Amino acid sequence: MTPADADKLIFARIRATPSVGLPLAECWGAVLTDAVSADRAQPPADRVLVDGIALAGAALISGARSFRRQGLQAAGEPPLRLVSADHCIEVTTGAVLPDGCNTVAPLEVIEVVGARVTISPRWLPSPDANVQRRGAEALAGQELLSPGVVLRAPEIAAAAAVGCGVLMVRRPARVQLLSVGTELMSIDAPVEPWQVRRATMAAVSATLRRHGIPEIDSDHVDDDPEQLRERISVALVGVDVLVVCGATGHGAHDFLAAVLAAVGVLPVVTGVNQRPGGSMWFGVGPRGQLVFALPGSLPATLACLVRYVVPTLCRMTGHRSVEPTSVALADGLPVGGPTCRFIPVVLSREDAGIARAATRGPGRPGDVLSLLATDGIVEITSASGPIVAGTVVPFYSW
């Protein structure tokens, strides 16, 4: 099975997470399901754009340059009314435009002496100078945010501006991580030379959070089939996706496939023609839960994670930008062969809008430090000859 074959089988079994209402403060990175419209015109009144003085533009056209200061119009206060054309009102940025005014002279072109304000003769105002008219950004009822948009700071600001304290969004996917291996110790535990810390699980959790997957629980189990079956049964309750790391090979302690079958997980992908991570496994639980079993080594785990798991989670939550980016290889590669390869790379400057990717050795299965300073992997499909520098290939970010 090729990675493309695996994609088709995995993506065909994805079910979108339901729509839920979330407080605005918790919506960053979520995908909107219900449109957001303006509750009133934006801005809701004629608004001053600079600090200065507001006045009637007709007075300037008639040649007047000196005005009597009438008062101060500050932001957040109801509008004052200009008493006559030979007066002006001091204004602050963001204030409502005073009634009777249609022009704002900025501080840089005025001189204040006592109660008199003089405008430089070199300043030639245009109509509505430094004024934003009511409804210039949006009219009442106008749709501002469409379903499917990813909520970032600008979108959240727009929702807040129209009074939306709760937004309807795709519920974040609930993910359970489970590492398997007697040799794996907690990060802060004392270790013997024959033991290792759970560095891979820390990397998996960090990668998922970086890709906008906030709801992640982690657990660990030793190489014990009965204990593993019990933990998986518990983990499948209430999750959308279960990711198991380790025990996917064919050794004496690689009994994960049998355990998954025992708890009702149906196999869909039982290996992919790729390196590293050829033993990657995918199945579907009794209630439609998606189950990924990834090889335990860091290079293979992260490669499978960003190549299969992250795109799956993005599709579940409605994210549109789930396709890999394209990069150009900075160096050539030897004869490819029939197996797809995932190779760590370091990105550098762009040529014609495409980043260059310098390859790094894939590292050995037990390596933890081999991926330092790399940005992700490129996918090199099967090839019958050498791959030359400049070849454009898919890139998946850590």
Segment (H or E) for 241: strand 241-245
End-to-end alpha carbon distance in the chain: 24
For residue 143, the tally of other CB atoms under 10 A from its CB is: 11
Residue 27 has pLDDT above 80, yes or no: yes
Which of 261, 287, 316 is the last residue before a domain boundary? Answer: 316
pLDDT at 218: 85
CA 266-173-207 angle, 5° bins? 95
CATH no. for residue 72?
2.170.190.11
Q: Which of 361, 359, 363 is nearest to 378 (CA)?
A: 359
CA distance 125 to 119: 11
Of 170, 191, 218, which residue constitutes the final position of a domain?
A: 170
The residue type of 394 is: P
Burial class (CB in 10 A: 0-12, 13-18, 19+), 386: exposed
Give me the pLDDT at residue 365, please. Answer: 61
Domain match, 120 and 209 both: no
Q: Look up the CATH number of the domain holding residue 24.
A: 3.90.105.10
C-alpha gyration radius of the chain: 31
How does pLDDT run across 255-300, given as a tens digit for each residue?
A: 888 899 999 999 999 999 999 999 999 999 999 999 999 988 889 9
Q: Do 77 and 162 belong to one domain?
A: no
- Asked if residue 94 and residue 148 are part of one domain, the reply reads no
Residues 76 and 12 in one domain: no
Distance CA 232, CA 64 (A): 82
Whether 152 and 199 map to the same domain: the answer is no
| Nearest alpha carbon to residue 70 among 47, 94, 86, 48 | 86
pLDDT tens figures, 232-256 = 999 999 899 999 988 776 665 568 8
**Is the confidence at residue 85, as pLDDT, over 80?**
yes
CA–CA separation, 313 and 241 (whole Å)? 8
Question: How far is the C-alpha of 197 from the C-alpha of 185, rounded, in Å?
Answer: 5
Residues 6+ positions from 193 with CB-CB distance below 8 Å = none
Q: Which residue has the higher pLDDT, 392 or 182?
A: 392
Together in a domain, 190 and 219 = yes
Q: Are 105 and 119 in contact (CB under 8 A)?
A: yes
Q: Which residues span the domain enclosing 110?
A: 47-132
The band of 386, judged by pLDDT with boundaries at 50, 70 and 90, is confident
Same domain? For 9 and 37 the reply is no
Domains identified in the chain, total number:
4
Do 240 and 128 share a domain, yes or no? no
At 251, which CATH number? 3.40.980.10
The CATH number of residue 370's host domain is 2.40.340.10
Q: Looking at the predicted structure, is the pLDDT value of residue 81 above 90?
A: yes
Tell me: do 31 and 158 sit in the same domain.
yes
> 3-state class of 315 per DSSP?
helix
pLDDT for res 254? 65
**Do both 264 and 342 map to the same domain?**
no
Same domain membership, residue 149 and residue 38: yes
Mean pLDDT for all residues in the chain = 91
**Do 186 and 311 lie in a common domain?**
yes
88 and 55 Cβ atoms separated by less than 8 Å? yes
Is residue 195's pLDDT more than 80? no
**Stretch (H or E) spanning 6:** helix 3-11
**What per-residue confidence (pLDDT) applies to 185?**
73
Query: Which of 297, 316, 335 represents a domain boundary (last residue)?
Result: 316
Is the pLDDT at 224 greater than 90? The verdict is no
Task: Tell me which residue of 129, 133, 137 sits closest to 52, measured CA to CA.
Answer: 129
Instruction: Tell me, yes or no, if the pTM score tops 0.75.
Output: yes
Query: What is the helix (H) or strand (E) element at residue 131, kind and residue range?
Result: strand 131-132
